[in-house]
């Protein structure tokens, strides 16, 4: 059993991280979406469409992380930039402080993480209205998210699998790994996560779906101290049996210097991919420089010389000017472990600078003595988005 002092220390760290401003200054490119249904989760909705959106375009649903806003995450990850380049529509659900003081989606709450209820239903209602309003191709609807948004993407893929062609989970957690605050906190630390068979059964039971499952792209930094990287392996395991693929990946390669594993089904389709971003902390990996740069680095938006936004779009087939996946050099299994693939030097320099900035942004009162054990735990849980 873990010591209370250990729990308090970890909660305090989460509290400090949660108090950082995860947004960006500047005008938003997004437009509000109103009157999208009963909205039982009390969420906001925003959309973005390029000026020349083609008919039967794709729709990408983007879920921000804790402390972030929809507009801030769009600026950071560069989703509207990518939509302009390749002609698809975007939907941004947004959390409200009245639901979660840290602006986290309530991915662990039984009130919000099941079909036809709470935040999951609100997002489904948004999708229905946006798809109708912008003449979206129903076979090309996708969902992605960071951290709590990534965990909420897992919720949407499990509870409404018939809606999505694919999903991308960045620094997130598998569906069904938590239904209480202590379970959520333990799962974030990599403790108590169910086994693969149980995780897959949880997805099957979430909707009764009998058709083809969405494809899954999984991204995680190996240095993530907020959501343990073991969660990425759990997500792979959760979806592997659903897609009926082997335990061993079909391909192991290096993409932009990072380990990339791919699983193909019996038809040869790439149905699961996983990127391990060596040494990266908690956040969305970006490549912001150069002609093909996308997004802007900041809190939880980390320059890593690889654009998750770009590669996710490619995995989903949204890059019309690129034919199929661009595979990197093939690696032998024993050479594919993340410790043998160094972070590019440019990414190391930027990441170090970013972490120094983060340290400077820490609120000055974080080091003050706690008023009491109960208050510290309660305040930290609320700040981390694990308590209403």
Asked if the structure places residue 12 within a domain, the reply is no
pTM of the prediction?
A: 0.82
Q: How far apart are CA 271 and CA 257, in angstroms?
A: 22
- Identify the pLDDT of residue 320: 73
Q: Are 157 and 164 in contact, with CB atoms under 8 Å apart? A: yes
Does residue 373 sit within a domain? no
385 assigned to some structural domain: no
> Is 379 within a domain?
no
269 is a domain residue: yes
Q: How confident is the model over 144-155, as pLDDT tens digits?
A: 999 999 999 999
What's the domain range around 242? 20-361
Residue 367 belongs to some domain of the structure? no
Question: Which residue spans within the chain are E strands per DSSP?
Answer: 31-32, 44-48, 57-63, 89-94, 136-146, 166-170, 215-221, 251-255, 258-264, 270-277, 284-286, 301-303
In terms of pLDDT, which residue wins out, 375 or 78? 78
The CATH number of residue 107's host domain is 3.40.50.1820
Domain count along the chain: 1
Which one of the listed residues 80, 147, 222, 308 is annotated catalytic?
147
CA dihedral 218, 59, 155, 151 (to 10 degrees): 40
In a domain, 179, yes or no: yes
Active site (annotated) includes residue 147: yes
Token couple for 322: 């690129």
Give CA 24 to chain center in angstroms: 18
Whole-number Cα distances in Å, 294 to 82, 218, 287, 301, 348: 8, 19, 6, 11, 18
Interaxial angle between packed helices 148-159 and 196-207, expressed in degrees from 0 to 180 and rounded to the nearest 10: 60
Residues 6 or more apart whose Cβ sits within 8 Å of residue 95: 43, 44, 64, 103, 104, 105
Residues 308-351 pLDDT 10s: 999 999 999 999 766 444 444 444 433 333 332 333 443 443 33
pLDDT tens, residue by residue, 243-289: 999 999 999 999 999 999 999 999 999 999 999 999 999 999 999 99
Number of helices (H) and strands (E) in the chain: give both, helices first.
11, 12
Give the pLDDT confidence score for residue 181 in this predicted structure. 85
CB contact at 8 A, 290 and 304 = no
Residue 220 confidence (pLDDT): 98
Instruction: Tell whether 278 is covered by a domain.
Output: yes
């Amino acid at each position: 059993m873990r010591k209370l002092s250990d729990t308090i220390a970890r909660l305090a760290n989460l509290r400090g991280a949660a108090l950082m401003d995860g947004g960006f200054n500047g005008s938003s490119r997004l437009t509000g979406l109103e009157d999208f249904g009963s909205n039982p989760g009390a969420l906001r909705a925003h959309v973005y469409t390029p000026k020349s959106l083609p008919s039967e375009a794709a729709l990408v649903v983007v879920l921000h992380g804790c402390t972030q806003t929809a507009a801030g995450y769009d600026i950071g990850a560069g989703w509207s930039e990518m939509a302009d380049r390749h002609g698809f529509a975007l939907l941004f659900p947004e959390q409200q402080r009245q639901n979660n003081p840290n602006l986290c989606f309530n991915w662990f709450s039984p009130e919000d993480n099941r079909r036809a209820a709470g935040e999951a239903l609100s997002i489904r209602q948004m999708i229905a209205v946006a798809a109708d309003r912008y003449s979206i191709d129903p076979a090309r609807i996708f969902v992605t998210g960071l951290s709590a948004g990534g965990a909420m993407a897992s919720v949407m893929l499990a509870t409404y699998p018939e809606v999505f062609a694919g999903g991308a989970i960045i620094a997130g957690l598998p569906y069904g790994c938590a239904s209480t605050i202590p379970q959520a906190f333990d799962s974030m630390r990599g403790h108590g996560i169910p086994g693969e068979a149980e995780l897959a059964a949880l997805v099957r039971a979430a909707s009764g779906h009998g058709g083809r499952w969405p494809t899954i792209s999984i991204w995680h930094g190996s240095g993530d101290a907020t959501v343990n990287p073991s969660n990425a392996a759990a997500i792979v395991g959760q979806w592997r049996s659903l897609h009926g693929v082997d335990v061993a990946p079909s391909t192991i390669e290096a993409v932009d210097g990072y380990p990339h594993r791919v699983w193909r089904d019996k038809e040869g389709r790439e149905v699961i991919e996983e990127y391990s971003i060596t040494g990266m902390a908690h956040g969305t990996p970006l490549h912001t420089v150069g002609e093909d740069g996308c997004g802007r680095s900041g809190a939880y938006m980390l320059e890593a010389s690889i654009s998750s936004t770009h590669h996710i779009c490619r995995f989903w087939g949204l890059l019309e000017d690129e034919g199929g996946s661009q595979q990197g050099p093939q690696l032998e299994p024993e050479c594919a472990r993340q410790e043998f693939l160094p972070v590019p030097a440019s990414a190391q320099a930027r990441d170090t600078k970013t972490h120094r900035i983060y340290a400077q942004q820490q609120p000055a009162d974080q080091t003050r003595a706690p008023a009491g054990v109960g208050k510290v735990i309660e305040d930290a849980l609320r700040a981390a988005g694990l308590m209403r």
